[in-house]
Amino acid sequence: MYIIKLDAIDSTNAYLKAMASVNLPKDFTVVVADKQTDGRGQMGSTWISDSGKNLTASVFKELSGFDVEKQYFISMCIALAIHSALERFKIPKLSIKWPNDILSADKKICGILIENVIKNNKLQGSVIGFGINVNQIQFDNLPKASSLKQITGNTYNKEELLSAILKEIPMYFEALESQKFDDIKREYESLLFRMEKPSTFKLQNNQVFSGIIKGVDHTGKLKVWTENDIIKAFNLKEVSLLY
């Protein structure tokens, strides 16, 4: 792996995307920054990080020839890789909140943002960004956020954490390249937050309904068993889980 370390940057994803717009980076090129001034999450949300206390990084994965219809498996693999790495550090009650947030109990400790690099209408690769709350202990007006230190009381070495994650990511992509889609999906669903439990959801029009998460379909949509005995599939823009 080729690792680029920066003191501060607007966004590690933006940095890698800019590189890719000129020449595609080497496979598994990593950019890590002590401070991110414009970190982004799913659907344009911002990610606030205290300087030097958290892990903010992005990885370029070469994916030329990969079936675009199966791109959600990229998201699954990254969530599973980070989940597996955090297990090594004995972080308790880990789960994956659809589509790819990592929780400890019901607190978010990691967000993931995947942006595809497309040239000549073909997928060339993905820029995979992740932010992990490591040693930050104050989260003003973010009641659902927490950090590894806040949860366990321990201070963590960010380099060790990054190293653990970078060991896991290639293993999951190896499974992806071997087309072990069923195995990946099965492991992912086994770790889904609120899987098979009665839960409350909110639609885009603010309508609230009850249902039970039954997994994801082959495109990554969330499958929810609704009160009228119908299993419906929702994409990220259509529904949110209230918890």
Q: pLDDT tens digits, residue range 157-214? A: 999 999 999 999 999 999 999 999 999 999 999 999 999 999 999 999 999 999 999 9
The predicted pLDDT at position 200 comes to 97
The predicted pLDDT at position 46 comes to 55
145 CA to centre of own chain: 15
The predicted pLDDT at position 87 comes to 98
What are the start and end residues of each CATH 2.30.30.100 domain in the chain?
198-242
The predicted pLDDT at position 48 comes to 57
Arithmetic mean of pLDDT over the chain: 93
The predicted pLDDT at position 111 comes to 96
DSSP state at residue 40: B
Q: Find the mean pLDDT for residues 91-101.
A: 97
Residue 49 pLDDT grade (very low, low, confident, very high; cuts 50, 70, 90):
low
> Which of these CATH numbers, 2.30.30.100, 3.20.20.60, 2.70.160.11, 3.40.1010.20, describes 198-242?
2.30.30.100
Q: pLDDT tens digits, residue range 111-145? A: 999 999 988 878 899 999 999 999 999 998 899 99
pLDDT surpassing 80 at residue 61? yes
pLDDT surpassing 90 at residue 52? no
125 Cβ contact list (under 8 Å, min separation 6)? 20, 24, 27, 60, 61, 62, 63, 64, 116, 117
What are the start and end residues of each CATH 3.30.930.10 domain in the chain?
2-190
Count the neighbouring beta carbons within 10 Å of the beta carbon of residue 147: 24
pLDDT surpassing 60 at residue 45? no
- CATH match of 2-190 with 2.90.10.10: no
Q: Find the mean pLDDT for residues 53-58.
A: 96
- Provide φ and ψ at 21, rounded to 5°: -70, -20
